[in-house]
Structure 1
Amino acid sequence: MSKAFLASVLQESLDCTGVAANRAASALVDSIVHQLKTTGGFTLPSFGTFTVKKTKARKALNPRTGEPVKVKAGKTVRFKASPSLKKDV
């Protein structure tokens, strides 16, 4: 799913202009990102939960050369589907 797809769905359902729908889609995505940054989690009822997890520094292999490479510690976003979404899919 892309932001353009989200904007087109909003445009059809709200019967608004493409510019307004694009602005609404951008605001929606920005607010989700802000929520993840500030609280570390975001839940959409009947869809699922997004959480921010810290990853440890580790060693990996370069697939092209096979040489060991150091990977820095960081953060990643995980998603857990709700039971109703699992049932529907």
Structure 2
Amino acid sequence: MSKAFLAQVIQESADTTGVAANRAATDVMQAIIRELKKNGRFTLPSFGTFIVRKTKARKGLNPRTGEAIKVKAGKTVRFKASPSLKKVV
């Protein structure tokens, strides 16, 4: 799914212009990002939950050279599908 697809669905559903639908899609995505930064999780009922997880520093391998490298600690976003979404898909 892309932002353009989301904007198209909004445009068709709300019977609005493409510019307004694109702005609405952008606003929805920004709201999700703000919520993830603020609380570390975002839940869409009957769809799933996005969760920010911390990753530890670790050793990795450069796939081109096979050389060992250090990977810094960081954060990543995980998604857990709801049971109702799992049942439908």
TM-score normalised to structure 1 length: 0.99
* Structure 2 unaligned spans of 5+: none
Partner deviation per Cα, 1:15-62 (whole Å, 9 max, x = no partner): 000000000000000000000000000000000000000000000001
* Match in the other structure for 2:26: 26
Aligned to 1:36: 36
- Deviation at residue 63 of structure 1 after TM alignment: 0.8
**2:45 counterpart of 1:45:** yes
- In structure 2, the partner of 1:5 is 5
Cα distance in 2, alignment partners of residues 79 and 22 from structure 1: 24
* 1:74 alignment partner AA: G
Residue of structure 1 in register with 2:85 after alignment: 85
- Local SS of the residue matching 2:64: coil
- Aligned residue pairs total 89
Unaligned runs of 5+ in 1: none
TM-score by length of 2: 0.99
Q: Which residue identity does 2:46 align to in structure 1?
A: S
3-state SS of the aligned residue for 2:43? strand
User: d(CA) in 2 for partners of 1:67 and 1:73?
Assistant: 19
CA apart distance, 1:67: 0.3
- After superposition, the CA RMSD in angstroms is 0.3
